[in-house]
A and B are shown apart, each in its own frame.
Chain A
Amino acid sequence: DGGITQSPKYLFRKEGQNVTLSCEQNLNHDAMYWYRQDPGQGLRLIYYSQIVNDFQKGDIAEGYSVSREKKESFPLTVTSAQKNPTAFYLCASGRQGVNGELFFGEGSRLTVL
């Protein structure tokens, strides 16, 4: 079945450690996105990519990094520079030209101990 897969679903890390969240899609979508969700804050954009080997910062990119080496994959690294990393992270993908119609993964919940 086509879809978008995030892993791991739950992740714990110690302060000062980097962690990478995986996002893979087999929908043949060009665009991929990472959002962060905190209670009562809605979804805030971290990074997005419209095409392989290119990506743009969103509203809250500080302390995060991404890569887009393959169309299917858009991993997010939460670095030790991110001051408040505990959150629910959502990856999404969409077709170019189909404005705003995003397909989301099930999310990854990161907890920093």
Chain B
Amino acid sequence: GQQLNQSPQSMFIQEGEDVSMNCTSSSIFNTWLWYKQEPGEGPVLLIALYKAGELTSNGRLTAQFGITRKDSFLNISASIPSDVGIYFCAGLVNSGYALNFGKGTSLLVTP
């Protein structure tokens, strides 16, 4: 599958800080998604993006589908301890194919 480069690899922040992470690829995707995985669990979908330039929010989370269709970013505002986990970006070329996942950004939040 196509490679997704996700950064940063890990983040260690204080409660209340904003967080930004991104995902880039050399390939074009028609769908970008962001998932969160908590320890010992499976990932859970946070946000799905279907159009280039699309900006979508889910509570304190905001994600954007890059205009080139080769990147996406996720912002978390005013972080709280329960934001801890691994955040994965994922890209999909077209329906009928499987998702390609980035390697994840591990987020730690201290009270």
Which residues of A does B touch, CB under 8 Å? Answer: 33, 35, 40-45, 48, 50, 58-59, 90, 92, 96-97, 99-107
Contact = CB atoms under 8 A, between A and B. Distances in A.
A100 B99 contact: yes
Interface residues of B, number: 27
A107 B43 CA distance: 10
A101 B45 contact: yes
A48 B99 CA distance: 10
Q: Is chain B's interface secondary structure helix, strand, loop, or mixed overall?
A: loop
Contact of A42 (B31, B33, B94, B104): B104
B31 A100 contact: yes
A58 B1 contact: yes
Nearest to A9: B40
5 contacts: A33-B98, A42-B6, A45-B99, A59-B1, A107-B40
Contacts of A99: 30-31, 48, 50, 92, 94-95
A92 B98 CA distance: 11
B90 interface: yes
Interface in B43-73: 43-45, 48, 50
A107 B42 contact: yes
Interface in B89-104: 90, 92, 94-96, 98-104
B1 A100 contact: no
Nearest to B104: A42
A105 B44 CA distance: 10
Nearest to B96: A50
B33 A101 contact: yes
Contacts of A45: 1, 98-100
Given A43-B43, A100-B31, A106-B40, A58 B98 contact: yes
Nearest to B30: A99
A58 B99 CA distance: 10
A44 B98 CA distance: 11
Interface string B20-47: 0000000000110100000011111100
